[in-house]
Amino acid sequence: MKSTRVVVIGNGMVGQRFLEELVARELSADITVFCEEPRAAYDRVQLSSYFSGASADDLSLVAPDFFSAHGIRLMLNESALRIDRERQLVIGSNGSEVPYDTLVLATGSFPFVPPIEGNDREACHVYRTLDDLDAIAASAKTSRSGVVIGGGLLGLEAAKALKDLGLETHVVEFAPQLMAVQLDVQGGVVLRDKIEALGVSVHTGKATQRIEAGDAQRHRLVFADGELETDLVLFSAGIRPRDQLAREAGLLVGERGGVIINDQCATSDPAIYAIGEVALWSGRIYGLVAPGYDMARQLAAHLAGDEAAAFCGADMSTKLKLLGVEVGSIGDAHGRTAGARTCQIDDSVAGTYKKLVLNAEGNRLLGAVLVGDTSDYGALLQYHLNDMALPSSPLSLILPAGDGKPALGVDALPDSAQICSCNNVSKGALCSAVSQGCSTMAALKSETRATATCGGCTALVKQVLDAELKRQGVAVNNHLCEHFAYSRQELYHVVRIHNIRQFDVLIRDHGCGHGCDICKPAAASIFASCWNDFVLDKPHVGLQDTNDNFLANLQKDGSYSVVPRIPGGEITPEKLIVIGEVAKKYDLYTKITGGQRIDLFGARVEQLPLIWRDLVDEGFESGHAYGKSLRTVKSCVGSTWCRYGVQDSVAMAILLEERYRGLRSPHKLKMAVSGCTRECAEAQSKDVGVIATEKGWNLYLCGNGGMRPRHAELFASDLDDATLLRYIDRFLMFYIQTADRLQRTSVWRDNLEGGLSYLQDVVIHDSLGLGAELEAQMQAVIDTYACEWKRTIEDPAALKRFRPFVNDYGPDESMVYVRERGQKRPMRSDEKAQALKIPVMETLS
């Protein structure tokens, strides 16, 4: 490196990465950094977490002693005012003059604020820095609602911030859809539907003409075709490169902005370079952090004398979670390549949309759009980046797991495959790091930076790590937590074999420390699966999570819901009346669930035993809606009433629900029984699905609904009642013995070596010789079943837990409700504020 004095203007994410790359190459240089903010580099990608509990220190990207340890001069609160190219000086806002041999512009971008009248009114903000966020939070304290102008990636991030602040949130977008750059039209429609379902109002095709004083709220946004009142406005309508310094210094800039650079990131002045969002390479501004990191890496290598170092563009594929909605965009998402073909799955029931863009021959992936479920993103990205041949049926790549979906094992990837795009980490680099001693994810992250930025590659990195360790003959660590050097499966066997019934004995003899919120609930579940003791007995009560602690589901306002068991969905008129009377007596919100039960919401903690008493006295029992256990067995009306039914599905559903009620497992369990192949009970979406045939029952296993649906697989056909029960007994106990903590049957099945045929060998053919043992263990659970509600109301010690305050038996007066559609619901924050005459933010503690 010829130069000895390096000046960097900007200490954002890309500027900081450039410094780290210089340090890593041990270059001998005098480095000075201009930073206009009062703090060093922080993670702008995770800015929205600032409103959900993260601190400025949590977001920091700089080790405490980084600058002093490496002799780098950091000038906080000082911006660069002017570049004197003749004298090679940078003049700072505090009057400093800093000479340079090499100058690097890492000034990034600024938020674009549309030039509309009223954009500078009070409580109109941009969303870019921590100072911006502090100003937004201050305005939110006196606001009820907020509007984000801009429905792109950054706009939806800003909308999450307003939601986290408790504001009624709107998004206003000029384009006819959300995220028009990354998503196609249908992807935008699905995203909008999901975001609106979360309580955010979306207004597309709206051009804001001016912002003026509102009547009921602080502002009124005036559109060509209407208006919208709000208290707070947040501009997030895109970014513009901060190229003013370069313009004033006479450097070449693009017609629409951005400092023009070559492959070595050099500007029109060979002593000045530009990286990140201020740089215009080949006519393009890159607005993601990964390309900026690559520029920083290539420039540092170039300055260190690497003649081959060059920035050659970047893939703009991205995977995000916006307002809790998963979104993925890969390559040519819009299918603009000549001859491009598409195939897609639009599942409006699951709320997911997946589209593949293929070349004319249909054997290469040009792009993809994923909304609602990005579980396929990693595999699809590898197909795209590595130009890998697609399977004969490309649509199979986006089918739910278990539907003939091909697996892309990491062994199929070349060493050159980029696993972490943010930090340009290849599979080969990961394997090399593992070979040199990195045996944990933490060590791999520290050595290679993989997963260190957005974390989207974590699952794939773990697969590479496990595969490489296995190839080297090293056992992969699957410990439950730091307190137990066992997997959940191994811990289950320790408990079963040593007849351990209490956590203090388990951790004393087979663990270390005092336990944590991972191992304690896991041990509680194992104890319940093995011995079926009352979960609120003194040795067990401290292990339970919130819901199991109170045998009810905690709701967002601090109240609980009560769900009595209704086996098979069958209920007499008398019992319906009982539920209605209980709901009326305690003023509970009632809702019929998708699992053919009735949910009663709004019960205070001290009311729970009273409600249970009324229900138990009339023959009801706990529905275990709070536990990782059997929830429901759904049924159609079967042959008793339906003209298509061939078996009594209701009787079978009741038999199954009463047989497996209270069974604790690694994750919740759902079942269904359909009386014919018309499948009205949706049995093929359950952990255990039973469908009637003319000859008996077909058994389906390991399905699930939810965010990532999976069809159950046909396990056995035309079974009689006894055989059906025997297979289910064996299957459930084998799952309980071998699954990981919080692992659904579908995920367990996908990870089961040998797949469906192996599971059939174990359960049907008893290949492991465990059949009789598994059946006996299930029978022990069945024989020891007791309703947990009934046990609680009969136990004076357990009843002491059910009061809102340790020193007061009175109700929790912070729970307040309003009437809506004839029933109560919790007050919203704005309603509380109005009722109590206090600012909204004071109600959010």
Query: Phi and psi at residue 513, in whole multiples of 5°?
Result: 75, -155
Strand partners, 425: 420
CA distances from 86 to 8, 100, 274, 303, 354 (A): 18, 11, 18, 21, 55
Q: Does residue 651 sit in helix, strand or coil?
A: helix
Q: Does residue 291 sit in helix, strand or coil?
A: helix
Task: Give the ranges where 117-152 is alpha helix by DSSP (H).
Answer: 130-140
Residues in CB range of 392: below 8 A, 6 or more apart? none
**Which letter, b or e, does each residue of 142-164 get, where b requires 16 or more Cβ atoms within 10 Å of its Cβ?**
ebbbbbbbbbbbbbbbbbbbbbb
Strand partners, 817: 826
Return the closest-CA partner of residue 265 out of 313, 224, 231.
313
454 is in an annotated binding site: no
804 close to 605: Cβ distance less than 8 angstroms: yes
Strand partners, 354: 345, 370
Spatial distance between the Cα atoms of 741 and 748, rounded to a whole number of angstroms: 10
676 is in an annotated binding site: yes
Tokens (6 digits) for 51: 């409103």
CA dihedral angle for residue 75, residue 79, residue 81, residue 82, rounded to 10 degrees? 50
Is the dihedral angle over the CA atoms 65, 71, 74, 75 positive or is it negative? positive
Half-sphere exposure of 174 (CA within 13 A, CB side): 11
Spatial distance between the Cα atoms of 29 and 36, rounded to a whole number of angstroms: 22
636 is in an annotated binding site: yes
642 is in an annotated binding site: yes
Strands annotated E in 155-246: 168-173, 200-204, 208-213, 219-223, 226-230, 232-235, 239-241
Spatial distance between the Cα atoms of 597 and 563, rounded to a whole number of angstroms: 7
CA distances from 18 to 9, 10, 294, 295, 763 (A): 11, 11, 9, 8, 57
**Tokens 């029931």, located at residue:** 349
Annotated binding residues for siroheme: 680
Annotated binding residues for [4Fe-4S] cluster: 636, 642, 676, 680
Annotated binding residues: 636, 642, 676, 680
